A and B are shown apart, each in its own frame.
Chain A
Amino acid sequence: EPEVTQTPSHQVTQMGQEVILRCVPISNHLYFYWYRQILGQKVEFLVSFYNNEISEKSEIFDDQFSVERPDGSNFTLKIRSTKLEDSAMYFCASSRRGGRRETQYFGPGTRLLVL
C-alpha cells in the first residue's frame, strides 16, 4: 500500500540553525501539506501546496518557514533560523486532489528538537 515517507525520523539542531525536513508524498497525489504537533498539544496546520505554490497557510507559517518541491518526488519544509519553540513533531500529508472530501494521508513524522 502506498504511503507517505519522511526523513529524517529525528533531528536535533542548535537554535538559529537551518533545518530541512523531507517528505515523499504518495506518487499520484497532487496536494501536499505540513502539520506540526508540539508535545502534548494539538496537531496544527502549517501550509498546503499545489502546483508549485502555496494554496493556504496558517499564521504559524511565517517568514522563517518555506516549502519547496525540488523535484518530482520530494516535498520539503525549511526552517531558516530555528527557535526553541519550533521543537515539535512535523507531519507531511498528501491528497490525490484538493477537494474537501479528499482524504489526507499522513507520514510518520519527523521529531525536531531545537537546543
Chain B
Amino acid sequence: QKEVEQDPGPLSVPEGAIVSLNCTYSNSAFQYFMWYRQYSRKGPELLMYTYSSGNKEDGRFTAQVDKSSKYISLFIRDSQPSDSATYLCAMSTSNDYKLSFGAGTTVTVRA
C-alpha cells in the first residue's frame, strides 16, 4: 500500500462549482497535513495547513482531516478559472522534516 494516495484526476468543473479533493494515507504517525497548489512549471505553493482532526476554513477553501479514517479532503467553493492547477496533499510526522506528497490531482475550472 502506498503511503499517501490521492484521487487521480483530472477533474473538470464549471465555474462556480464545488471542487472536492481527497487523499488517504496508511502511516498513522502522520500528524501534520497540508494542501499545496502547483501551477504548470511552478513550485508547490502552500494553501492550507492542518494539525488536528476537523475542519479548517480559509476563504473559499476548507480542509478536512479525519485521522480515524486516515482521510483528508480539500473543498474549493465557488471555483474560479484561476483555481485551475494541480493540487497536492502532503503530510509529515512529528519526528521528521520531510513532506510525503500525494501524486496530485489536476483541476480545470471552465469559464
Residues on A facing B (Cβ under 8 Å): 4, 31, 33, 35, 41-45, 48, 55-56, 58, 91, 93, 98, 100-101, 103-109, 111
Contact = CB atoms under 8 A, between A and B. Distances in A.
Interface of B: 4, 31-32, 36, 41-46, 49, 51, 88, 90, 92-94, 96-104
B43 A108 contact: yes
B10 to A, nearest CB: 13
A91 B97 contact: no
Contacts, number: 58
Given A33-B97, A91-B44, A101 B32 contact: yes
Contact of A45 (B99, B103, B104): B99
Nearest to A105: B46
Given A58-B98, A100-B97, A103-B49, 18 more contacts: A31-B97, A33-B97, A33-B98, A42-B4, A42-B103, A42-B104, A43-B88, A43-B90, A43-B104, A44-B101, A48-B97, A56-B96, A91-B43, A100-B31, A101-B49, A104-B46, A108-B41, A111-B41
B96 to A, nearest CB: 6
Given A100-B31, A100-B94, A43 B101 contact: yes
Nearest to A57: B98
Closest 3 CB pairs of A and B: A106-B43, A45-B98, A43-B101
5 contacts: A43-B104, A98-B97, A103-B49, A106-B36, A106-B45
B88 to A, nearest CB: 7
B32 A104 contact: no
A74 to B, nearest CB: 17
A14 to B, nearest CB: 24
Most buried by B among A41, A91, A106: A106
Contacts of A35: 99
Contacts of B100: 45
A48 B96 CA distance: 10
A106 B46 CA distance: 9
A42 B104 CA distance: 7
